[in-house]
Amino acid sequence: MPPRSPRHPRGPADRPDATQGVRERQARSAQRVAASSTQEVRLIGGRWKRTPLPVPVAAGLRPTPARVRETLFNWLGQDLSGWRVLDAFAGSGALGLEAASRGAERVTLVERDATLVRSLKAVVQRLTQGTSAQPGQRLEVLQADALSWMPSARQAFDLVLLDPPFDEGLFDAALDAACTCVPEGGWIYVEAPHELGGPASTADAGACAWLHALSRHRHGQAGAVHFHLFRREAFSQPAVASTD
């Protein structure tokens, strides 16, 4: 066996950009998954039940499985008539469009990826044409960064759906941002690769505002995915020290 070449430390010019490398690996992984699985999901309830939704190839895109969506809407109730819903990391739109299928009055789908936005707009146009349209219902697709958009939202939502990319570590930031547009009694749903808001979170309460604003209503797990339903608590006022 020939001797190994000595290793030389890399200089800055030789070191690959870490972020670019991660994104390239994500893109390749997404392409492999898409090539070996069906590129659509189906709505499972409401007036658009069994309607297929395309799943474009995109890094980090992971549509919520049907059994998880079924559990979520069993928790919430099947009839969302009159609800205002935000799907903040919309992706394929499976979560937000399930809410719309169950009668939500207004559904806003926010997505930053231009390819996914185009796909969402085409799906919404198809669903809201002809006899499948629900009078008075409004479905809106916006291209924006959800973390920046939520604190500046000009309306409140009864339900915010959060399914951020798992590898970007956005869960605390997304929950904090969602709290700014959900009034008392509203709901926030979030998926993560680990449990959120359990007893172990008490030690982190000082760093995460959402731990003071939300109470965990339900938690479930499907494979490697943990899914949670939180309720917005009453807005608390800081205690005023007595001067007596």
> Which strands, in side-by-side order, build the sheet including 138-143?
138-143, 106-111, 84-87, 159-162, 187-192, 225-232, 214-222
Q: What is the pLDDT of residues 61-78, one digit of tens each?
A: 778 999 999 999 999 998
Contact 61, 71 (CB under 8 A): no
Integer Rg of the chain from CA: 21
Give percent of the chain with pLDDT exceeding 90.
Answer: 60
Identify the residue whose tokens are 């697709």: 141
Q: What is the pLDDT of residues 76-128, one digit of tens each?
A: 998 999 999 999 999 999 999 999 999 999 999 999 999 999 999 999 999 99
Rounded to whole angstroms, the Cα distance separating 4 from 12 reads 24
What's this model's pTM, rounded to 2 decimal places? 0.78
Rounded to whole angstroms, the Cα distance separating 51 from 23 reads 31
